[in-house]
Structure 1
């Protein structure tokens, strides 16, 4: 489904990404990795993204932001679950707007759309992570009313450690 969501920003629309958008999504993901100084961690391929976003059991959903028909932004999100609330949450994995277009409201439009989507789907929460050094984003998120969670540490397991724990 390729539904278009108009925004209040002249020429800027959001739409659900489709399998044919994977090359442009991957390109934008690589741009985000450059900004976050994490290019060495991008191992996604077009094939892996098609399978995980548009395969038999998609693990996430993606939005593509276009300015006058040109891709300039994206978001990838998925549901998580709160046992305490007994309800789904919406987790934003990535949100990205090309640097030269920041400050024009596109990021806010994406987050606003996702907040409405979370409410429509009955989600108890809308959450995301941000790198500690990314002060511009932290200020932006705080200006929207988001609050950082103190007292939580994110753990990650990959590679050999994941294999060992899985008994592989």
Structure 2
């Protein structure tokens, strides 16, 4: 299967948003996506770029994407976080996921990062197997901790 991988452009964000929604549905969180196409354009291509995105294109349709952003580890130094690596259902098993991950790793190396990190749902065994086959360490003894927007407001109200 022929596809090309390139750095995303603002005009790609509608199709990227569709992929994000497809992933949310796969993860049984179809109503959790709050980010809009406009948010993606502003946050990825506005004055303050918050992320870097690669897209995979086949027949002028985006069939995969990988979105990363910078972080800093007090133990390691510069890090990038892979927020999502998404491949459309029809393109799974074609090597596209590997090709996108290759681009992320090359990008991280170009930036001089000391770690690339991401999360995977504990029930997504195909993804876990894929990442482990690439040499990634799935750290099953760590839990993800978050404050969502409502939690942030509640926290601030509690300390006010």
RMSD: 1.4
Query: Offset of 1:68 from its aligned partner?
Result: 3.3
- Please give the residue correspondences for 1:63-78 in structure 2 after superposition, counting only pairs within 5 Å: 63-78=54-69
Q: Which residue of 2 aligns with 1:122?
A: 112
Query: Offset of 1:139 from its aligned partner?
Result: 0.7
What TM-score do the two structures reach when normalised by structure 1? 0.88
Q: Which residue of 1 aligns with 2:20?
A: 29
Q: Which residue of 1 aligns with 2:81?
A: 91
- Show structure 1 runs of 5+ residues with no match: 1-9
Distance 2:27 2:141 in 1: 24
Q: Would you say the 8 A contact 2:66–2:104 is kept in 1? A: no
What TM-score do the two structures reach when normalised by structure 2? 0.92
Q: Which residue of 2 aligns with 1:7?
A: none
- Alignment coverage as a number of residue pairs: 158
Detail structure 1 runs of 4+ shifted over 2 Å in the superposition.
Answer: 164-168
Q: Would you say the 8 A contact 2:80–2:117 is kept in 1? A: yes
Distance 1:77 1:132 in 2: 21
